Structure 1
Amino acid sequence: MTHAAQVDTSVAPAAEPRESSRAPISRVMIGLGFLLVVLSYMVNAMDRQVFPPLLPNIRAEYGFSLEQGGLLATNFTLGMALAGLPAGYLLDRFRRKTVLLVSIVIYSLGTMATPLATGFADMTLYRVISGFGEGMQSAAIFAAIGAFFAHRRGLAFGVIGMGYSVGVFIAPLIGVRLMSLHGTWHSPFYLFGAAGLLIATASLFLVKTGLTEHSAEKVVSTRTYEYMPASAYNRNTIALAVHSVVSGVAIYGFLGLYPTYLITSLHYTSEQAALAMSCLGFGGMLGILGGWLGDRVNQRNLLILSMAAVSAVSVCVYETHPGVGMQYALAFLMGAFGLGFIYPNTNSAIQRAVRPEQIGRASGLFVTSYYGTAAFSGLLFAALVDSFGWSRAGLLQVTVLPLVGAVALAFVRPSRFNNAVRQGEPS
């Protein structure tokens, strides 16, 4: 049996397996492995986004306040943030495939444990554990795929983002349907958790190390990077991290309480709110377009325009109170810009802001900065709603904050990215 066909269960230091796992990998296995990676990220999204549309029922069963519900809707991102930098460290030292498989098991078990909670404290713990696994997985996926598709990183991230958006699209529909069918909100969590364990098992055998352990340095070995900062924590990565923090708070605050807003303020049914969330996920499927554009235009300017678009959509959502059909259209646009354009391009830009051998740390930095404060975005939004009402809260958190993120992006210098065309190099 060749090395490429062996099952990878090792946790040997990364430098060794990446040098020894360069046996050719067929296009079929690349495609199959990439598909499983996308599917695993889709289940990741389903685990995250099944919670908000079920939140009114969860609050009713446990007697949670709006602030407690808002915190539970987004506090899984605290686990993601806690996982980010440690995952970056592990990815620079151990096999990415190992980190990936372990992470899927962690978040699947955390998801399945959520219905077992007896109160706020242990439900918070299960949500954070689930988020920790999801953060590890995010860092592993984007480090591995970013290295393998170094020249088409934005497009590859866009495809992965589309898988995430499919999960956002179908999770509310399946979750609400199962809740209605079984008379309990528990069953979706068991189903999605089991799906994650199944994908982890399949990935153990079908995702080859030739895909996950690729070295970005070899792909671009004809280039030199003296023009780039030596540190992974430089002007560009810091500015992008600030932008990540702001966009995470704005977008996850919106995602966490959007169904609650529709149900409690606009008096939508649970099914209508779930469909609106699905439209948001459908808009996120434009991640392929967003990633493709990020490979071809000034990525900083694309992100600035996308942040401005999120602000404009937010004004329409919270200030104009449109009809059901227009609300679905606005949800689609929020998903398109928030999930389809901002997420993959921020992720790929922060990897382009470091030297190729630092991709693991860049991936961890993105996960920590994007999801760290997002953990409290739902709590913040709920507190603002209690103090000022839905319209003013939406204006403060989902309209003004993205503009602050756009200001941070003004400090980014794409000419110092690792894909920048230098004088004398072919464009």
Structure 2
Amino acid sequence: MARREVFGSLCSLVFLVNLGRVVFAPLLEPLRTAFGASGTTLGLLATLAWLGSALPRIPTGYLLTHVPRQYVVLATGGVLTAAALFTAAAPSIPALMLGAFLMGMASGAYFIAANPLVTELYPERVGRALGIHGMASQLAAAGAPLLVTAALLVGDWRTTFQGIAVVAALATAGFVLASRQTDLPNAGVHDRDLLGAVRQQYPIVLAGVAILGFAGFVWNGLFNFYVTYLTTTKAVSGTMARNLLTVVFAAGVPAFFVSGHLADRLPLVSYLFAVLVGFGGAVLLVTVSSGLVTLALVSALLGYVVHSLFPAVDTLLLGSLPDRHRASAYAAYSGSMMIVQATGSSAVGALTDAGLAFDFVFRALVAALFCLVAVLVVVHRLGRFPTGARA
């Protein structure tokens, strides 16, 4: 029961840290109005939240070779609370960018500390535990547009960050209470050599980066500009566009649970390749769709497929990495993958500001994704693609 309480508090915290980095997507248009920012500037703002999520991951992996996981999780809750308060008071775009970066840092450090902890709480059901934890994270993404809409009704864009700060402080306190009453696992006690873990496990680390790095790059560029894309290309109102973004993220809620369940039971590498192809196909469908009903259905398909990737890749790594390498190798994978992923918004913002149409940009990215999948399939058929960690 005690471990269940810790897991429940982790699910509360992951909701908030993920909200801190995805909330900028539905806020881009209100921020454009408030600060008169360009598409390139807004894309950079969203990128900084994700870049902030990327950069502390490897340092956090090193920190975990000296500090227990629960202390790092606690620190991320404090950072998120302080960063949200700072962002709520930001007087300018540069200050807002710093706030976005700091909120992203809280999420990056959290995932590196918490995901291995979740795995070690339930070692016999890795995919299922990661799926439920990811589902809690995805509830934040699904609710972000609605929370932003509610905040704009009662205040302005600052109200969103003020609310995040208050709830983050309460959730952090809840985790402290739960962890003090629980005998937490010490499976990572021998994980004391980050570079050694990376040298030993580099094949599966590179595989994870290849799969989720570029797919995340495409996804980051798409969802951060989804509202702008729909309003400018599909003649959808701002409110309806935010609702469709909600559909995208809401479809990811069951995807985490189902995909985590499937990842425990299906040939994992083949399943990952199928999901990658499905994601590319869903993006193409978005570019050729019109009409609210069709866009809603395609948005749901897009959200379900792309969010199926995350628990599956985490299961491939965390489910097979040995205790002495788990956090360190996962940090190296996650930090590298997130740096690639974080630049997607800046790339799409810069390309569309240069005059390229959204549809052209997204179709070109899908073509590149399909080329990557073809290369990975060939590598797999040659027996060079890792299907698990090294013993």
Per the normalisation by structure 1, the TM-score is: 0.83
Asked if 1:379 is matched to 2:346, the reply is yes
Cross-structure match for 2:306: 338
Cross-structure match for 1:215: 187
Cross-structure match for 2:335: 368
Identify if the C-alpha distance between structure 1 residues 209 and 326 changes in structure 2 by more than 3 Å, giving closer, same or farther.
farther
Q: In the aligned structure 1, how far is the partner of 2:183 from the partner of 2:132?
A: 16
2:258 to 271, 289, 298: 289
Kindly indicate whether the alpha-carbon contact (under 8 Å) linking 2:14 and 2:137 is maintained by their aligned counterparts in 1: yes
User: 1:188-203 maps to which residues of 2 (within 5 A)?
Assistant: 188-203=160-175
Measured after TM superposition, the shift of residue 136 of structure 1 is 0.5
Which ranges in structure 1 are unaligned for 5 or more consecutive residues? 1-27, 219-228, 419-427
Kindly indicate whether the alpha-carbon contact (under 8 Å) linking 1:49 and 1:172 is maintained by their aligned counterparts in 2: no
Measured after TM superposition, the shift of residue 66 of structure 1 is 0.4
Kindly indicate whether the alpha-carbon contact (under 8 Å) linking 1:146 and 1:348 is maintained by their aligned counterparts in 2: no
Secondary structure of 2:66's counterpart equals coil
Cross-structure match for 1:266: 234
2:268 to 283, 299, 302: 299
Cross-structure match for 1:118: 91
Identify if the C-alpha distance between structure 1 residues 353 and 406 changes in structure 2 by more than 3 Å, giving closer, same or farther.
farther
Asked if 1:143 is matched to 2:112, the reply is no
| Equivalent position amino acid for 2:310 in 1 | Y
Kindly indicate whether the alpha-carbon contact (under 8 Å) linking 2:206 and 2:333 is maintained by their aligned counterparts in 1: no
Asked if 1:310 is matched to 2:279, the reply is yes
Taking every aligned residue pair, what percent have the same amino acid on both sides?
20
Kindly indicate whether the alpha-carbon contact (under 8 Å) linking 1:247 and 1:402 is maintained by their aligned counterparts in 2: no
2:77 to 95, 104, 128: 104
2:157 to 173, 185, 188: 185
Which ranges in structure 2 are unaligned for 5 or more consecutive residues? 191-196
| Equivalent position amino acid for 2:375 in 1 | V
Cross-structure match for 2:194: none
CA offsets per residue over residues 239-295 of structure 1, 9 Å max, x none?
222222212211111121111111232232232122112111211112111001111
Kindly indicate whether the alpha-carbon contact (under 8 Å) linking 1:353 and 1:416 is maintained by their aligned counterparts in 2: yes
Secondary structure of 2:55's counterpart equals helix
Q: In the aligned structure 2, how far is the partner of 1:169 from the partner of 1:176?
A: 13
Large movers: runs of 4+ above 3 Å: 208-214, 229-233, 405-411, 415-418
Q: In the aligned structure 2, how far is the partner of 1:34 from the partner of 1:117?
A: 34
Larger Rg: 1
Measured after TM superposition, the shift of residue 298 of structure 1 is 1.4
CA offsets per residue over residues 154-213 of structure 1, 9 Å max, x none?
11111111111111111211111220232x111011101211111001111113575654
| Aligned residue pairs, count | 378
Q: In the aligned structure 1, how far is the partner of 2:83 from the partner of 2:374?
A: 35
Q: In the aligned structure 1, how far is the partner of 2:176 from the partner of 2:143?
A: 25
Measured after TM superposition, the shift of residue 88 of structure 1 is 0.9
Measured after TM superposition, the shift of residue 338 of structure 1 is 1.3
Cross-structure match for 1:6: none
Measured after TM superposition, the shift of residue 416 of structure 1 is 5.1
Residue range with higher mean Cα deviation, 406-415 or 49-58: 406-415
Kindly indicate whether the alpha-carbon contact (under 8 Å) linking 2:188 and 2:323 is maintained by their aligned counterparts in 1: yes
| Equivalent position amino acid for 2:104 in 1 | G
Q: In the aligned structure 1, how far is the partner of 2:223 from the partner of 2:329?
A: 25
Measured after TM superposition, the shift of residue 353 of structure 1 is 5.0
| Equivalent position amino acid for 2:26 in 1 | P
Residue range with higher mean Cα deviation, 259-268 or 408-417: 408-417
- CA root-mean-square deviation: 2.2
| Equivalent position amino acid for 2:203 in 1 | R
Measured after TM superposition, the shift of residue 396 of structure 1 is 2.0
Asked if 1:162 is matched to 2:135, the reply is yes
Q: In the aligned structure 1, how far is the partner of 2:154 from the partner of 2:106?
A: 29
Identify if the C-alpha distance between structure 1 residues 199 and 337 changes in structure 2 by more than 3 Å, giving closer, same or farther.
same
Measured after TM superposition, the shift of residue 316 of structure 1 is 0.8
CA offsets per residue over residues 348-392 of structure 1, 9 Å max, x none?
212345332111112212321231122221010112223420111
| Equivalent position amino acid for 2:142 in 1 | F
